[in-house]
Amino acid sequence: MTMQELKTLQSESLSHIGAINSLKELEDARVTLLGKSGKITELLKSLGGMDPETRKTFGQAVNDVKVQVQSALEDKKTALERAELDAKLATETVDVTLPATARPVGKMHPLSFVIEEVEKALSELGFDPVEGPEIDTEFNNFTALNIPDDHPARQDHDTFYFKPLKGENERRLLRTQTSNVQVRAMQNMTPPMRVQAIGRVFRCDSDLTHTPQFHQVEGLAIDKNLTFAHLKGVLQTFLTTYFERKVEIRLRPSYFPFTEPSTEVDIGCIFCGGNGCRVCKHTGWIEVLGAGMVHRNVLANGGIDHTQWQGFAFGCGLERLTMLKYGINDLRLFYDSHAAFLRHFGKPAARI
């Protein structure tokens, strides 16, 4: 090949590269010119058969053409890749001014926000939240609360017991009431005191109105000269605050081992206004909690002198309070994890 023909090959190659519009065509051009059998590659192979003087001059010229072609190929590849990316971005552009896709927002479980409501209502009355273990001893769960050894609640068919560990003399159990927290509060705090205990409790039971696990709230106040009238005033204020309406309460004599005197507390039916309906069994009243003055034996087991201090206590199931306030008719719905239940009764969580 003459020098003139080499210049022509150079000019045609650069023109062809400049006119290419796709990466595939560019790769084909590279193979045609610089591949193993490419035109420029063949020229380099032919240098071996030339005389030294010609090889030196012609070889330099071929190398110059190769460098220019390689540079043109690389520049064109960069330009085509950029153009391809720009085209892709143009077709996939997101209009940020369009309304966002609606997403379902989770809600708080009814029990979760009722716990918050109850804790807030009692805190406003001066009852400080305290906690205790869910696994406790028979003493704290039964004996310290003046519950006799032959009481039905102590039987295996009512309470979840653990096998005693090696070296233990006392059985442990899943607490059946949050009163074990009151015992610990009396043992570890100095009166006067007002505390509230909210937490899970466990009993061997399961039907429309009972589950093996449920939640309780209990309040305990210990001070000098406390009377039954103070207890009634606290309950009236608490229930009115919780139900967000004026509620009428009724105290009925009852019996609990840990209080004396004891009372069952009813409220005027919030569904029929006291006129009688299916919910209140046509009595006009609904039982909501138990209460009473703390028994002197319980005070003594908590390390408190009953001649100097008096106290009152009350407790109820949080599921029952929730069912009454929000019209839920089956206790098991709280634990069945039905999305429809949460959508209907759940409370929108506060946005952060």
> CA–CA separation, 275 vs 27, rounded Å?
91
Q: Which tokens in the block code for residue 192?
A: 């006067």
Global confidence as pTM: 0.68
Question: Residues 309, 335: contact at Cβ < 8 Å?
Answer: no
- Amino acid in position 308: Q
CATH of domain 110-348: 3.30.930.10
Q: What is the DSSP letter of 189?
A: S
- Give me the pLDDT at residue 1, please: 65
The whole-angstrom separation of Cα 71 and Cα 192 is: 91
Using DSSP's 3-state secondary structure scheme, residue 71 falls into helix
What is the reported pLDDT for 114? 93
pLDDT given for residue 350 in this prediction: 58
Phi-psi region of 227 (alpha: psi -120 to 50; beta: other; left: phi over 0): beta
- Can you say whether residue 298 is alpha, beta or left, with left for phi > 0 and alpha for psi between -120 and 50 degrees? alpha
Nearby residues of 50 by Cβ (< 8 Å), 6 or more positions away: 58
β pairing state of 347-348 and 249-256: unpaired
**What letter does residue 207 receive in the DSSP assignment?**
B
Domain residue ranges in the chain: 3-91, 110-348
Higher pLDDT pick, 257 / 2: 257
State the Cα–Cα distance between residues 260 and 124, nearest whole angstrom: 26
**Could you read off the pLDDT of 166-211 as tens digits, one per residue?**
777 888 999 999 999 999 999 999 999 999 999 999 988 765 556 7
Residues 131-154 have a mean pLDDT of 91
- Residue-wise pLDDT tens digits, 50-86: 777 777 887 888 888 888 888 988 998 999 899 888 8
Q: Is the pLDDT of residue 337 over 50?
A: yes
